[in-house]
Structure 1
Amino acid sequence: MARSARYRPVQRRSRATIDNILDATARLLVRHGYQGLTTNHIAAEADIGIGTVYRYFADKNELLAALRDRASAEMTQELIKAIGASLSFEPAVAVRQLFVCLVDALERDRAIISALASEVPMGLQSNILPAVEGQIAQFCRLFIAHRRPDLPDTEVEEYVYIGMTLAFSAALRIAVEREPQMDRQRLIDRAADVLTVWIESTAAATA
């Protein structure tokens, strides 16, 4: 979605206003979903005038895009730390730690992710969290490069693509779309086992 030309804050007070608006939007998403979200409701929830909302955001879709960017930045930082801490671990431990980190982050922002995945116009649905997907891809890339430095770039990227798709899709299903009767911990354990087997078999097959 094209960015609005509206005023972008640089002062601390303006940044605090932006955060207040985004926090209010997130709370309303949890309570009412995307369809029940209006800029008037957001202004009331944030305890500000509607003109202040429009000073920074053109409409609720632009607000949701900003929420997506903020959530993505937070998740990316968490994944970067987790990746750095996991590089010295055995594959099973590393994969599980990173997968838990991803599920926790997606679950924390479930309302935003759910709205992006199923309710908003198609322009916002593509590449829900591209920066997060990029960090998952980077982990796959680092792992394969460590195990098989002789592989050509084309093959590495093929394995990265599959690994990223498996990890992100599984985490998204567990965090956002999990059926009430399903046990969260067992699903995480099973997904981590499947991803570990895939990674180890990939390394073995290419050895």
Structure 2
Amino acid sequence: MPPKSNNRRRPTQDRAKATREDILDAAAALFGERGITDTSTNRIAAAAGVSIGTVYRYFPDRATIVEELLTRIQNNIERRFTERVHDLSHTPVQQLVSGVLAAIVDEMVTDVPLVRALIAGLNFYSSGMPELEVRLRLLVKMQIIQTLGPGDDDEYDVLTITIISACFGIVLRTAVLEDRRVRDEVIATTARLVAAFADTEIQARATG
């Protein structure tokens, strides 16, 4: 089941915001160390140096903490994506795909233990990832149009879905690799494969 939404009022004072972030940081560290199912809210409270009542003041249950951590990852990925591909207009598709992949992977490898815990303890496609996919589709399609120019909308949708699917597949495999050289090679190889697919589609459209 998808995590419950947190309908509680978010803190407005700096100290309250800091406490909330401390709880999230403690939970992320414990999830990475022990896994999600073996981490209780009591243990999170102890690691954050707060009472269990303080934890429940901001998060009604553990599922909400997981949801908040996923949201934080999503926001950071989108920020990295926007920063990295913003200047990739009118560039080769391979460079665009490489930028998209790198933006997502670079964020997820900042906390490999947490990513491992999320992959092991959650079904990504019932835990907030569809929202990220929809957001990324819009960004990627805009970049494709800027890169390739006006074209068939259905074909661009197919290319967008192909790139996003490659992104999620490569993330699940490379986000847990500690060797940066191997990650870079996998990203580069995937970018070449997607670019070759895109070139074939473009040529078929030109001659069709």
Does the pair score TM above 0.5? yes
The equivalences for 1:185-204 within 5 A come to: 185-204=184-203
Which whole-Å CA distance do the structure 2 matches of 1:5 and 1:102 have between them? Answer: 28
- 1:10-47: CA deviation from partner (whole Å, max 9, x where unpaired): 22221111111101111111211112211111111111
Count of residues in correspondence between the two structures: 203
RMSD: 2.7
Shift of 1:205: 2.4
Where does structure 1 lack aligned partners over 5 or more consecutive residues?
A: none
Shift of 1:163: 2.3
Three-state SS of the structure 1 residue aligned to 2:70 is: helix
Partner of 1:36: 38
Partner of 2:175: 175
Which whole-Å CA distance do the structure 1 matches of 2:182 and 2:124 have between them? Answer: 33
Where does structure 2 lack aligned partners over 5 or more consecutive residues?
A: none
Partner of 1:157: 157
Shift of 1:132: 5.6
2:119 is aligned with what amino acid?
Answer: A
Q: Normalising by structure 2, report the TM-score.
A: 0.83
Partner of 1:119: 121
The equivalences for 1:14-29 within 5 A come to: 14-29=16-31
Which whole-Å CA distance do the structure 1 matches of 2:121 and 2:115 have between them? Answer: 10
Percent identity between matched residues is 26
Three-state SS of the structure 1 residue aligned to 2:86 is: helix
Q: Normalising by structure 1, report the TM-score.
A: 0.83
1:169 is aligned with what amino acid?
Answer: G
